[in-house]
Structure 1
Amino acid sequence: MNKNLLQRLSFAIVLILSFFLITSCSSVKNVKYFRDIPDSTLSTSIGRAEYVEPVIQTDDILTIVVQTLDPNATSLINMGNVPVSATGTSTVNTGILSVGQQVVSGYLVDKEGDVELPILGKVQVVGLTTSKAKTLIEAKAGEFYKSPSVTVRYANFKISVAGEVARPSTYIIPNEKVTILDALTMAGDLTIFGKRDNVLLIRQNEDGTKTAYRINLNKSNIMTAPYYYLRQNDFIYVEPGKAKAAANDANQLRTYTIIGSALSVLIIIASRL
């Protein structure tokens, strides 16, 4: 075979494979959050989302503590926060939990919407916020104790984050006022491949139906949206972008490039024999 032809062939192989390798590595776009906030401004005014307290649903687990001047008087009620499996493992020292083997203490809201408290009996709490449930239980406890103080909070306020995030998991949060940005931060933020302009939020309604929202993290108006504050059992899914597929293709093309380069070397060596 003509040496010049072999050299041209080897050069063409390297050139073609290099072209595909370069074009497959797409540049990362839309990585930055809130692109509509100018970099040059010192401050930007952003509206406020309306916070609506979540309501208690069946199968929720509530931590209920009743306090009086005599701590021993209500010890039976407070000890009644029965440990219930909530599948969580502590991830940070803030009390936020992710899926694992955590057991939390609390009163389970039964299918009738009641919690059954020692001494106080059954109390209907389904459909109430924790603040209204506190008032109701305080009134009930007032029948047995003098000036009782009641605390009611969720023991299993959980949200799930899946897809292109660093730590996909189900998180149990000790604070019911949590935002979508909080959830993404707990999950370690989006990976470089996550689509920031089309995050999916699936929310369970009180009647059992679900509502899906599409969220654009490139826009600051999400901080005024009705879905900015999360609710119990919200599910967040971050879709992979085109860069993920391009990265997979790039890995394959690197292999082909190495093989092609090796063939080119062999052709050059053969042309000189």
Structure 2
Amino acid sequence: MKKLLIPIVFMAIALLLDACSSAKQVAYFQNIDSVSLASSKGLYDARIMPKDLLTITVVTSDPATSKPFNLSISNTLGTDGRLGSNTGSLLQYLVDNEGNINFPIVGTVHVAGLTKNECQDLIKSKVQPFLAASEVPVVTVSMSSYRVTVAGEVTAPKVVPVSTEKMSVLEAIAQAGDLTIYGRRDNVLLIRENSNGQKEAHRLNLNDANVINSPYYYVQQNDYIYVEPNSTKAKNSAIGQSTTLWFSFVSIMTSVASLLVNIIRN
């Protein structure tokens, strides 16, 4: 009886140690109290990239003066069957591969690499010569296509829109329902495309508070975040597939054996 109890005790200890080890891998920012976050200081500003969609409005004291700079989409169908002007829907500007947009009256404007505020100042300087000297236009720029994708071991994989043009990796993951218990916190993959179309892969350890100091802590438009499954999920998946294949094999062999028995009897 004692010999039987010894392996049971060892198995129980092993299970407890494994549970403790797994628990340590779940918490974010485990060393937050011992890590300096001084290098994370600074306000993040997203920068415009090729293929971004921009919404740009120009406002002046006289609406008629700014109207040529605020093109609307003509998509209203009149009673005569013709398309009319819908002033409630502004035309969006697609940044081309060279980083340019074609702005009304002004012409080609290079905007790639600029922050929203820098782009507003640039458009304002381009528009000013076409206005009266006393006129001070108000220019507003927003990125209409700012979004990231979160996939893998999260509760609800999805494309996440970023309306504020500022979002951390953790906020994006939270929008997808956070990591499941099977998601690897220490090896989150971030795939990013730069302004030249070059893809880059970066690994983030969410267990380590130093991730806050990372240059990849804030997401960039079109980032792809993938959470890998941990070993437990991988093993369970392998067991499930093997079991399915085994039952399929047994079922086929049983059917063949039954068919042979019937043939022999007949």
TM tier, smaller: 0.5 to 0.7
Q: What code does the residue aligned with 1:177 have?
A: K
Task: Note if contact 1:133-1:152 (Cα within 8 Å) is conserved in structure 2.
Answer: yes
Contact kept, 8 Å, 1:201 with 1:234, in 2: the verdict is yes
Matched, 1:239 2:225: no
Of the three residues 169, 174, 178, the one matched with 1:180 is 169
1:135 to 107, 118, 121: 121
Superposition TM-score, scaled by structure 2 size: 0.68
Task: Give distance in 2, aligned partners of 1:108 and 1:166.
Answer: 33
Q: Unpaired segments of 5 or more residues in structure 2?
A: 1-10, 76-88, 245-266
- The residue number in structure 2 matching 1:171 is 160
CA distance in 2, matches of 1:111, 1:247: 45
In the other structure, the counterpart of 1:201 is 190
Paired positions, count:
211
CA distance in 1, matches of 2:72, 2:140: 14
Equivalent-residue separation in structure 1 for 2:113 and 2:73 (angstroms): 21
Contact map agreement 2:70 2:91 (CA 8 A) in 1:
no
* Alignment-derived partner of residue 38 in structure 2: 47
Distance in 2, matches of 1:121 and 1:226, equals 35
The yes-or-no answer on 1:223 pairing with 2:209 is no
SS across alignment from 1:228: coil
Change (3 A) 1:125 1:81: farther
Which amino acid in the other structure matches residue 117 of structure 2?
S
How does 1:81-120 map onto structure 2 within 5 Å? 106-120=92-106
Match of 1:78 among 60, 64, 70: 70
Counterpart check, 1:189 vs 2:178:
yes
2:157 and 2:109 map into 1 onto residues whose CA distance is 36
Structure 2 equivalent of residue 89 of structure 1: none
CA RMSD in angstroms comes to 3.4
CA offset digits 1:2-23 (Å, max 9, x no partner):
xxxxxxxxxxxxxxxxx9xx97
Q: After superposition, what is the alpha-carbon deviation per residue over 1:42-68, rounded to whole angstroms, capped at 9, x for unaligned?
A: xx8633425553432221101111111
Q: Quick one: percent identity of the two aligned structures? A: 41
1:56/1:107 CA distance change after superposition, 3 Å: same
Give the secondary-structure state (helix, strand or coil) at the position aligned to 1:143.
helix
Q: Does 1:32 align with 2:27?
A: yes
**Which structure shows the higher helix fraction?**
2
Cα distance in 2 between the residues matched to 1:189 and 1:105 = 36
Uncovered stretches (5+) of structure 1, i.e. residues with no partner = 1-18, 84-102, 256-273
Segment of structure 1 superposing worse, 69-78 or 27-36: 69-78
Shift of 1:118: 2.5
Say if 2:55 and 2:90, in contact at 8 Å, map to a contact too: no
